Chain A
Amino acid sequence: MPTRRSLAALPALLLSGAVLVVGSAAAPRKDERAERRPGLRLIAKPRKLAPAVKLAPGDRVERRVELSKRGPGRFAAIYFVARARTSSTLDADRLNGLHVTLRRCKKKWRRRGAGYRCAHSVTLVTTRPLIGRRRLRLSELRLRGARRAHLLLVISLPATAGTALAGQRTSVTYSFVGVPRGRRRLQHRP
């Protein structure tokens, strides 16, 4: 009798096992920076941003990020995600800690002094504490055709940052997640 019961459940177990194996093998690895399948792809350059060190209260650092898509189709939504690989009070203090602002320029950002300037109109995509509690939908961001999104990632330490934030170091992993049309909700955790 126990043997018969086991045999009866075997097909279902085999099916789920197979799906698990295939799914695990095909799903993107955690550290994968870009979708590798030949379909719609989202590409951000550069992948590694220059470190921002010796920040003092009131300081801001700017990093250019070029966002583009490859492959057929369009994205229904693009999300910004930032996670702390190495955390400190710089990211844990949501009020006085690091903030991030994303700005978009119609053309490439041009270096001017220590920062960058946009010769055309600038769109504020988002601004918030660097490490958000949830993914942030970039409602102002559309990628059409081969056009790139010229983004400026501005990391700032508020002037109100107190001495408790001195001598701190945070390592951040940032991601842009594109959800292709037809999928209204983000389900994938990068």
Chain B
Amino acid sequence: MSPARRLPDLSRRGVRWGAVAGAIAAAFVTTSIALAGFSSAVTGGGMTVASKRIFAGVRSVSAWDIRDASGGGAETNNSDALSFADGVTATTKNWSTAFSATRFDDFDYNPGQPAGIAVSSATFNFTFAPSRAQDTACFYVEVRRASTNALLGTHGSSGVPSACANGAQVAAAVNISSEVTSTDIANDLRIRVYANNSTNRPIRIELASVTLTTPNVTATAFEKRWDDEANAAAAVTLWPLVATDGTAYTSAANFATTFSTTRYLKFTPNEAIPTGATISSAQVEFAYKSNTAGNTMCWYFEVYNGATLIGTHGSSAAPVSCNATTAYVTDLVSVPEVNTVAEANAVVLKVYMRNSGSRKASVELVQLDLGYYLD
């Protein structure tokens, strides 16, 4: 006999009435809900609301590609050695044979992409070689925030490097998509490269860039700050032209006292505007002075869409401005001719200069400010 069967009659009756009361309560609740449905009148519909893919705003980019014809002869490629796979390399300080937490190179990026957009893929492109063909060099990376140095993730390790180069140059691609998930991070990105060298020597870096893909565009970010701590001591190199911070590009040769169409500096802004975007404004910012005190520097410029001239601002007779001081002067020049995506993505600025004392030019800032949105 089970314990339930041993209950007295009174308890069994209680259970029965409990079940009945519960069922009635359930029926009451259900009925109330159903009757409520009967007595309220409902009407309405649906609507879809969507926002623009990119809100209107001004985004600024600088130039990493510089062609220098200041001397009046052939152009010299003075582009950033770390930003293009063009055979021009930068050499680090000496690494050790073993990886060390204090031996690294930091590269900071700001591709100038609109904030708040998801990044679907991000790749760190690192092309490198040991400084001698008989050596071996390896590397692995950390992904960090540039502003805070906060660590976001690590790819590879001292035990399992991301890649090694046995004498010959190696082009490595490290997928950093898991850390660089939005343009907010991409615009504030630091890649820390830990490297070693089998004979405690430098490595040569051909390329250290980041390729980003968003739903709207694929862009390449170039380093604006390189801190070479291969020997555990900081050595910061700022790319000029990105800020009015006193770091400037000095022309390869002296300019003449008069303007000449053969003496110029050519800058290519690193622009990546999505197809379909509407450009509402375009402006060039240019900060310059004579590299030598006591001389007057003047400038005017042409705007090209690739190789096609689309606008001229100032002239040899009426320059955009002249600067006789030892301080940088910043000019803001509207370039309304840049009003299509194709033009924006292929802008080349050709800057003609003259110097009263036949001296070099010092250029602190070259920036293209584009106002645009994407429906």
Contact = CB atoms under 8 A, between A and B. Distances in A.
Q: Is chain A's binding surface mostly helix, strand, loop or mixed?
A: mixed
Contacts of A43: 43
Interface string B46-90: 111111111111000000000000000000000000000000000
Nearest to A157: B51
Contact of A187 (B5, B23, B36, B57): B36
Interface stretch (B13-21, B149-157, B194-202): B13-21
B33 A63 contact: no
Contact of A53 (B12, B35, B50, B56): B50
Contacts of A178: 40-43
A12 B23 CA distance: 6
A166 B40 contact: no
Q: Is chain B's binding surface mostly helix, strand, loop or mixed?
A: mixed
A22 B16 contact: no
A188 B38 CA distance: 9
A23 B49 CA distance: 35
Contacts of A51: 47-50
A28 B42 contact: yes
Given A16-B23, A53-B50, A56-B56, A26 B215 contact: no
The number of chain A residues touching the other chain, given as a range, is 35 or more
A119 interface: no
Contact of B48 (A42, A44, A57, A169): A169
Contacts of B375: 54
Interface stretch (A32-40, A106-114, A120-128): A32-40
A33 B45 contact: yes
B222 interface: no
Contacts of A104: none
A163 interface: yes
B23 A13 contact: yes
Contacts of A47: 43-46
A188 to B, nearest CB: 4
B261 interface: no
B16 to A, nearest CB: 5
B280 to A, nearest CB: 12
B29 to A, nearest CB: 9
19 contacts: A1-B5, A12-B27, A23-B34, A23-B35, A33-B43, A42-B41, A52-B49, A55-B50, A61-B49, A90-B51, A161-B51, A163-B116, A168-B50, A170-B49, A176-B44, A178-B42, A187-B33, A188-B40, A190-B42
Interface of B: 5, 12, 15-16, 19-20, 23-24, 26-27, 30-57, 114-117, 215, 373, 375
Given A90-B51, A161-B51, A178-B42, 11 more contacts: A1-B5, A5-B12, A27-B38, A35-B43, A163-B114, A163-B117, A164-B116, A171-B49, A183-B39, A187-B36, A188-B36
